[in-house]
């Protein structure tokens, strides 16, 4: 909504320029749309042109780059010449980072001079006309940090509009748009679907709706049901279900206890997201099982919240220790995630009394993220501080491990019961979770999900919902997302709400 309000000014200017010019105001010459892939940057620009009823010249940044010297600059000149003839109009350059990267980088790479010539011509053209002529330049990028500062100065792309991934309410509205073109059953709950797709961009929601339609068509159904949407979400996130994957009974039991450990810790700790589904059905390239949660739309996390989430991630490994007396390689991904989070707590967020209220999270590309400057030294702290950081990280991991172990030993009967149920049914839904574990002590949205489903537990394809890729950006952020939806709990990201057991020797796309 905020992005829409920003671009409405552009529409108003193109429709009624005198409204602004009579007061002496000038609309920005350039509008830069910034956002992750699939968030609707190009669609937003087309909507502006359509609403204003003016010609729309759309090109990609790569269209200007050729192997022949001078071609890119010539195309820029031709584009602006035609735009001035058709004014009022909109010029839209998608993926402008293809030609707008900071000059001076990789100067030895072939073709760099041609790209710089193209950029120089673009800068010259933007200086050569006034916005009151009715030509508005819009551009889109998902890498604003690499753009040349000359592009972003006042008088060029001086207005930046951030198009974020949709929140829960906006996802529900996007689902509402896409289901208008398909036949859906009465049991489809758009609010519930929005809750199960955190971190999804508009393009991914469109893909979910299309996959649901294809799944329903394969089953010769008259309409697309809620189960089809849930299976399509799981497929988009986790990949194809692999029920025919050969897993020994011993490993299957380990997987069941591992996922039960995650779920139980997530169920009883206050600051974890409500668990709504647990499965031991293999999916994708490496996931042997997973726990799915219903994450909240959050931007800030306290120290205790991070510790609770880390304890949930370690719940599977601790369950293996308690039941089998040893651990397996299945927790590799969990260990990577909690290690990143622990280091972020100490070195980025100042959550360690011993190290203090400091942050060492320096950009590798200089403070502004767009220049060629490199840090003067690799790490801005002494060897003694580095040793203290390592010791604090180990202390944090040991603390959350002990908390998870204490809880699982106390709930050993529930751990056994849940593992047995998983071995029998393979997938446990929200109603069965309540039957096994009781009402969640700290509440959660599992109640709405449970009441909205006719089945107590699922037996089809069910996958892990994504994590909200929101929060303070920091080094180590996978940038989403999802980007991945399984979430690796990287420093600066909203910690992952789901956990997946990995097969030996394999890595998922979000493993580093």
Which of 419, 112, 370 is closest to 264 using CA atoms?
419
CATH code at 186? Answer: 1.10.8.60
Where is pLDDT greater, at 123 or 462?
123
When pLDDT is averaged across residues 368-391 and rounded to a whole number, the result is 68
The pLDDT value given to residue 462: 30
Q: How many CB atoms sit inside 10 A of residue 364's CB?
A: 10
Within a domain: 177: yes
Q: Which of 116, 259, 477, 497 is catalytic?
A: 259
Give me 444's structure tokens: 């959660």
> How many domains does the chain fold into?
3
When pLDDT is averaged across residues 407-430 and rounded to a whole number, the result is 94
When pLDDT is averaged across residues 312-322 and rounded to a whole number, the result is 95
Which of 2-16, 141-155, 277-291, 354-368 has the highest mean predicted lDDT (pLDDT)?
A: 141-155
The pLDDT value given to residue 131: 62
d(CA 1, CA 424) in angstroms, rounded, equals 47
**Is the same domain home to 8 and 154?**
yes
Is the bond into 88 cis (omega within 30 degrees of 0)? yes
Within a domain: 134: yes
The pLDDT value given to residue 167: 87
d(CA 134, CA 39) in angstroms, rounded, equals 27
The pLDDT value given to residue 139: 92
Give the count of alpha carbons within 13 A of 264, CB side only.
30
Where is pLDDT greater, at 376 or 78?
78
**Is the same domain home to 12 and 147?**
yes
- pTM, whole model, 2 decimals? 0.70
The pLDDT value given to residue 30: 86
**Is the same domain home to 203 and 221?**
yes
When pLDDT is averaged across residues 391-409 and rounded to a whole number, the result is 96
The pLDDT value given to residue 120: 86
The pLDDT value given to residue 74: 87
**Is the same domain home to 29 and 173?**
no
pLDDT tens profile 192-216 = 899 888 888 898 999 999 999 999 9
**Is the same domain home to 179 and 80?**
no
Task: Supply φ then ψ for residue 34, to 5 degrees.
Answer: -115, 130
Which of 307, 311, 252, 274 is closest to 501 using CA atoms?
252
89-94/135-141 β-pairing: parallel
Q: Which domain holds residue 403?
A: 249-368+379-443
d(CA 458, CA 505) in angstroms, rounded, equals 29
**Is the same domain home to 277 and 329?**
yes
- What share of the chain has pLDDT > 70, as a percent? 79
Taking 50 as the threshold, does the pLDDT of residue 87 lie above it?
yes
Q: How confident is the model at residue 346 (pLDDT cuts 50, 70, 90)?
A: very high
For the ranges 19-28, 105-114, 139-148, 480-489, which has the lowest average pLDDT?
480-489
d(CA 72, CA 76) in angstroms, rounded, equals 6
CATH code at 314? Answer: 1.20.58.760
d(CA 65, CA 76) in angstroms, rounded, equals 10
User: Tokens 């992952």 correspond to what residue?
Assistant: 496
Taking 70 as the threshold, does the pLDDT of residue 302 lie above it?
yes
Taking 80 as the threshold, does the pLDDT of residue 499 lie above it?
no
The pLDDT value given to residue 480: 31
User: Tokens 């029920």 correspond to what residue?
Assistant: 243
**Is the same domain home to 232 and 261?**
no
- Check if the beta carbon of residue 210 is closer than 8 Å to that of residue 175: no
Rounded to the nearest 10 degrees, the angle between the axes of helix 71-85 and helix 112-127 is 20
d(CA 225, CA 206) in angstroms, rounded, equals 16
Q: How many CB atoms sit inside 10 A of residue 447's CB?
A: 14
Within a domain: 424: yes
Give me 2's structure tokens: 């905020």
- What share of the chain has pLDDT > 90, as a percent? 33
Ordered strands of the 56-60 beta sheet: 56-60, 89-94, 135-141, 30-34, 159-162
The pLDDT value given to residue 242: 76
**Is the same domain home to 152 and 180?**
no
Q: How many angstroms separate the first and last alpha carbons of the chain?
A: 35
d(CA 319, CA 314) in angstroms, rounded, equals 9
Within a domain: 231: yes
d(CA 55, CA 45) in angstroms, rounded, equals 12
56-60/89-94 β-pairing: parallel
The pLDDT value given to residue 117: 84
Within a domain: 387: yes
pLDDT tens profile 258-301 = 999 999 999 999 999 888 889 888 877 657 888 888 777 778 89
When pLDDT is averaged across residues 319-327 and rounded to a whole number, the result is 95
d(CA 224, CA 229) in angstroms, rounded, equals 8
Taking 70 as the threshold, does the pLDDT of residue 505 lie above it?
no
User: Tokens 């574990």 correspond to what residue?
Assistant: 437
Provide the β-strand partners of residue 32: 139, 160
189-221: burial string, b at 16+ Cβ within 10 Å, e else: bbebbbbbbbbbbbebbbbbbebbbebbeeeee
**Is the same domain home to 20 and 153?**
yes
Domain boundary among 162, 177, 202: 162
DSSP letters for 384-402: HHHHHHHHHHHHHHHHHHH
3-state secondary structure 8-44: HHHHHHHHCCHHHHCCCCCCCCEEEEECCCCCCHHHH
**Is the same domain home to 234 and 284?**
no
Within a domain: 364: yes
The pLDDT value given to residue 488: 35
Q: How confident is the model at residue 483 (pLDDT cuts 50, 70, 90)?
A: very low
Taking 70 as the threshold, does the pLDDT of residue 500 lie above it?
no
Q: Is 373 a catalytic residue?
A: no
CATH code at 77? Answer: 3.40.50.300
The pLDDT value given to residue 59: 86
Average pLDDT, the chain: 78
Taking 60 as the threshold, does the pLDDT of residue 473 lie above it?
no
For 432, counting Cβ atoms within 10 Å of its Cβ (0-12 exposed, 13-18 middle, 19+ buried), the class is buried
When pLDDT is averaged across residues 333-349 and rounded to a whole number, the result is 93
CA 146, 148, 150 angle in degrees (round to 5)? 155
Domain boundary among 128, 145, 162: 162
The pLDDT value given to residue 496: 37
Within a domain: 338: yes
Q: How many CB atoms sit inside 10 A of residue 3's CB?
A: 18
**Is the same domain home to 300 and 407?**
yes
Taking 60 as the threshold, does the pLDDT of residue 476 lie above it?
no
**Is the same domain home to 272 and 420?**
yes
Domain boundary among 395, 417, 443: 443
Name the strand (E) or helix (H) holding 47. Answer: helix 41-52
Within a domain: 192: yes
Which of 234, 190, 208 is closest to 486 using CA atoms?
234
């Amino acid at each position: 909504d905020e992005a829409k309000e920003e671009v409405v000014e552009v529409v108003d200017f193109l429709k009624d320029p005198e409204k602004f010019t009579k007061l002496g105001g000038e609309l920005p010459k350039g509008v830069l749309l910034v956002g992750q892939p699939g968030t609707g940057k190009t669609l937003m620009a087309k909507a502006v042109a359509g609403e204003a009823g003016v010609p729309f010249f759309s090109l990609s940044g790569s269209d200007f780059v050729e192997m022949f010297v001078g071609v890119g600059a010539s195309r820029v000149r031709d584009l602006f010449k035609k735009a001035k003839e058709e004014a009022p109009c909109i010029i839209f350059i998608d993926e402008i980072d293809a030609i707008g990267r900071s000059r001076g980088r990789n100067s030895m790479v072939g073709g760099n001079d041609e790209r710089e010539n193209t950029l120089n011509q673009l800068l010259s053209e933007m200086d050569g006309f006034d916005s009151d002529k009715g030509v508005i330049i819009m551009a889109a990028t998902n890498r604003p940090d690499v753009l040349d500062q000359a592009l972003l100065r006042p008088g060029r792309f001086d207005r930046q509009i951030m198009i974020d991934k949709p929140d829960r309410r906006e996802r529900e509205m996007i689902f509402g748009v896409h289901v208008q073109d398909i036949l859906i059953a009465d049991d489809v709950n758009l609010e519930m679907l929005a809750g199960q797709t955190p971190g999804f961009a508009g393009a991914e929601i469109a893909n979910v709706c299309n996959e649901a339609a294809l799944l329903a068509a394969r089953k010769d159904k008259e309409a697309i049901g809620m189960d089809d949407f849930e299976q399509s979400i799981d497929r988009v996130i986790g990949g194809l279900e692999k029920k025919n994957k050969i897993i020994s009974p011993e490993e299957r039991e380990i997987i069941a206890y591992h996922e039960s450990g995650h779920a139980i810790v997530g169920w009883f700790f206050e600051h974890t997201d409500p668990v709504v589904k647990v499965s031991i059905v293999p999916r994708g390239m490496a996931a042997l099982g997973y726990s799915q949660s219903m994450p909240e739309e959050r931007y800030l996390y306290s120290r205790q919240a991070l510790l609770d989430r880390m304890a949930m991630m370690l719940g599977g490994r601790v369950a293996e220790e308690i039941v089998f007396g040893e651990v397996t390689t299945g927790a590799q991904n969990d260990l990577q995630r909690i290690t990143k989070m622990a280091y972020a707590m100490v070195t980025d967020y100042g959550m360690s009394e011993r190290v203090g209220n400091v942050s060492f999270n320096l950009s590798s590309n200089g403070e502004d993220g767009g220049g060629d400057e490199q840090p003067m030294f690799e790490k801005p702290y002494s060897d003694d501080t580095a040793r203290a950081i390592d010791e604090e990280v180990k202390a944090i991991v040991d603390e959350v491990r002990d908390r998870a172990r204490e809880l699982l030993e106390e709930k050993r009967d529930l751990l056994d019961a849940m593992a047995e149920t998983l071995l029998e049914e393979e997938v446990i839904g929200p109603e069965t979770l309540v039957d096994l574990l009781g009402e969640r002590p700290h509440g959660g949205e599992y109640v709405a999900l449970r009441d909205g489903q006719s089945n107590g537990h699922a037996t089809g394809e069910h996958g892990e919902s994504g994590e909200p890729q929101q929060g303070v950006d920091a080094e180590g952020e996978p940038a989403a997302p999802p980007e991945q939806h399984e979430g690796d709990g990287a420093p600066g990201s909203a910690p992952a709400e789901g956990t997946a057991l990995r097969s030996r020797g394999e890595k998922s796309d979000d493993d580093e």
